[in-house]
Amino acid sequence: METDTQLWEILVPCLRNNRPVSVKHHREWDKYVRNLSGGLTIYRPAKGQWVDSATNELYDERVIPVRIACTEKQIVQIIKFTIRHYNQLAVMAYLVSNRVLIIHAEEL
């Protein structure tokens, strides 16, 4: 277990260019995150709102909360990939826990 692994949550958009994101497109993102971090937990979509500070425009959109146990370096990579993959102005991720324990059955 990597000692600097933390539990992060990132908000993944349900829309891209004002159109629903296809399941295939989401699965490509899932695969990237799995390959980088080893896994992810996908929650049900939620309603999100944020104001663009440059234009004062309100964005009202559904987002998918996803939890990922990874390092800070990895979550930064995931955020950057998410911005490009979904064509976003910004993506938010936040620390849920700074301590992650993973115990494998073969370690017992």
Would you kindly state where each structural domain of the chain is located, as residue ranges? Answer: 6-107
- Which residues of the chain are modeled with pLDDT < 70? 1-3
| CATH class of the domain comprising 6-107 | alpha beta
Cα–Cα distance measured from residue 22 to residue 107, given in angstroms and rounded to the nearest whole number: 39
Helix (H, G, I), strand (E, B), or coil: what is residue 14?
coil
The type of residue at 88 is Q
pTM across the whole model: 0.90
The token pair at 76 is 């930064």
The type of residue at 96 is V
In this prediction, residue 52 carries a pLDDT of: 87
- pLDDT by residue (tens digit) across 38-58? 999 999 999 999 898 899 999
Helix (H, G, I), strand (E, B), or coil: what is residue 24?
helix
In this prediction, residue 3 carries a pLDDT of: 66
- Cβ atoms 91, 79 nearer than 8 A: yes
Closest residue by Cα to residue 91 from 103, 102, 78, 104? 78
Cα–Cα distance measured from residue 78 to residue 62, given in angstroms and rounded to the nearest whole number: 19
